[in-house]
Amino acid sequence: MPRQIKTTSEYHRLRGWPKPAHPLISVIDLDAVSCLPDHGVNGVVVDFYSICIKQGSNIKLTYGQQNYDFDSGVMFFMAPRQVFSINANGVEAPKQSGWLLLIHPDFFWGKSLATHIKNYEFFYYYVNEALFLSDKEEAAMISIIRNIEKEYEANIDKFSKNIIISQLETLLNYVERFYNRQFITREKAGHRVLEQLEELLTAYFNSEDLIKKGLPTVHAVAQSLNISPKYLGNMLRLHTGQNVQQHIHEKLIEIAKEKLSATNLSVAEIAYMLGFEYPQSFSKLFKAKTSQTPVEFRASFN
């Protein structure tokens, strides 16, 4: 069972770092701290947000059930209640370089960021989805974190929290921009994922799984592609204008139209073959997507 870490102070103790200057937020220059061997950080779930800029490391990170793309990626993000493990591959003094920002949700209490931080979906990207930064972008990120560090280490006053949150929102907005750029610049990789998605859905819709299990869920599709649902959704939306659920339904409607126009199967039989327990549910979805009932669509071919 994963070990739960409730506070940033507890995480500091786990990693063998000095006590943080603030109970709800922590800024760590990874070059300036030592790191305990990895046996103490195995199967951890934390109650705070983590933002990391990696500049060099011999540490591996397992995020959920997969190895994170930590070697080649420059920046990664985790939301509270996500499980991860750190593996230093037996190295007694793991090397690390970069910055780590830890923020407990209570730090945002009463601020608008408490609500809209969940809109930054990159906190829910899991596997092989690190953000790749240009030198200029990386310098911009580090500059913002240094500004947060200055406020963090200064005497806390009534302006400190607002200034830190303002800097943090700027950082998150830049990250959103850079991820959008990454979807575009890594277009070849994105199209390969979309090809794999099409192959996966085609195989599923032609298998008995459709009858036995019903329509594939977004989570199941993303898991089969070894990507997080959020990352897959954003990539698909950029390339097609649809989210994953809409894409699944589009594929379903294509097959339904083919069966309605080229076979004599009843609407109920087609609905069953497409994984629907009730024909009414199939008819409702079909009409929502085509503005016609299945019967009306079939009649248009006669």
Of all residues in the chain, the percent with pLDDT exceeding 70 is 83
Annotate 149-160 with DSSP letters as a single string. HHHHHSPP-TTH
User: What residues pair up with 56 in beta bridges, in sequence order?
Assistant: 97
Looking at the chain, the number of H-run helices and the number of E-run strands are 12, 9
DSSP 217: P
Q: Which region holds residue 15: left if phi is over 0, alpha if psi is between -120 and 50, else beta? A: alpha
> Picking from 58-67, 74-83, 93-102, 153-162, which range would have the lowest pLDDT averaged per residue?
58-67
Residue 39: band (very low, low, confident or very high) from pLDDT cuts 50, 70, 90: very low
Mean pLDDT of 207-214: 84
Mention every residue, 6+ apart, whose C-beta is less than 8 A from residue 69: 127, 128, 129, 130
The predicted pLDDT at position 70 comes to: 44
Residue 143 clears pLDDT 90, i.e. is over it: yes
Q: Which of 37-41, 171-175, 191-195 has the highest mean pLDDT?
A: 171-175
All structural domains of the chain: 3-185 (2.60.120), 188-299 (1.10.10.60)
The predicted pLDDT at position 176 comes to: 93
Residue 73 clears pLDDT 60, i.e. is over it: no
Residue 283: band (very low, low, confident or very high) from pLDDT cuts 50, 70, 90: very high
